[in-house]
Amino acid sequence: MTDQRFQLNIAVKPYCIFLLLVSLVLLALHTGLYTYSEYVEEVPWLILQLFDLDEENNLPTWWSGFLLLNVAFFVFLTASASRDKTRPYWFAIAAGFLILAIDEVAGLHETFNSAIVPSWALFGGVLVAVVALAFIPFLVALQRRLALMFIVAGVIYVGGAIIVELLSEALDSDSFAYVIAVALEEGLEMLGALLFLYLNLERMQRVQRLRVDVNID
């Protein structure tokens, strides 16, 4: 039987620019709608909820999950193509982003946070520190510039997910300051994930000649 071969070709820069633009639009809608509602005229709650970065089951939540799933998928391809000692680390990173994508949509950390007294971010910070130490051999094995940029992407993401989260807990959830803090938190998370995605895609294109084949017998 003749094989049917399909190829997935990614134009890395245009694709990542598209993802960035959509992310910026969602951040602008969240901030703009709440600014208008605060200083001009009250916006109906149904419209605010649709674009509220702090709410669940809406467009920003779906988009954030989609971004993280993108990272998980392409890192998995990197892991599958790797043949050196970094291979297990790539698989671990793919699994980590998959868990983050599921959490973004299912709200696992919010559920965990409601069941404990201290903030989940404190436990998250400890986990990040442990993972960072465990991944030192992985970073050492990479090209220096790439390792440094991966660290930058991680710091940006963690800065939003944990540091801004902790700082915003002291704010009134109904205040405009909290709205801005949420935009900063989610914006840093999106930017960190997008930077990591771009770096990995660029590496795949340069080192592994990014190409996905699907055979149907």
> Residue by residue, what is the 3-state secondary structure of 128-149?
HHHHHHHCHHHHHHCCHHHHHH
Task: Tell me the pLDDT tens digit for each residue of 20-42.
Answer: 999 999 999 999 999 999 999 99
Six-digit token pair at 103? 């959490």
User: Domain for residue 90, yes or no?
Assistant: yes
User: Domain for residue 17, yes or no?
Assistant: yes
User: Domain for residue 16, yes or no?
Assistant: yes
The share of the chain scoring above pLDDT 90, in percent, equals 62
Task: Tell me the pLDDT tens digit for each residue of 185-202.
Answer: 999 999 999 999 999 998
Residue 70 near residue 198, CB atoms below 8 Å: no
Please state, in angstroms and rounded to a whole number, the distance separating the CA atoms of residues 194 and 200: 10
Residue 118 three-state SS: coil
User: Domain for residue 86, yes or no?
Assistant: yes
Average pLDDT of the residues of the chain: 86
User: Domain for residue 133, yes or no?
Assistant: yes
User: Domain for residue 43, yes or no?
Assistant: yes
Q: Outline where 82-143 has alpha helix (H).
A: 87-106, 108-114, 120-134, 136-141
- Exposure of 62 in the CB half-sphere (CA atoms within 13 A): 6
Q: Which domain holds residue 155?
A: 10-209
**pLDDT for position 207:** 72
User: Domain for residue 217, yes or no?
Assistant: no
Please state, in angstroms and rounded to a whole number, the distance separating the CA atoms of residues 97 and 75: 9
What is the pLDDT averaged over residues 162-180? 86
Residue 177 near residue 47, CB atoms below 8 Å: no
User: The whole model's pTM is what?
Assistant: 0.88
Output DSSP code: residue 41: -
CA-to-CA separations, 201 to 11, 41, 75, 213, in angstroms, rounded: 9, 44, 9, 16
User: Domain for residue 187, yes or no?
Assistant: yes
Confidence band of 171 (pLDDT split at 50, 70, 90): confident
User: How many Cβ atoms from other residues are within 10 Å of residue 33's Cβ?
Assistant: 18
Six-digit token pair at 145? 């510039």
Domain total in the chain: 1
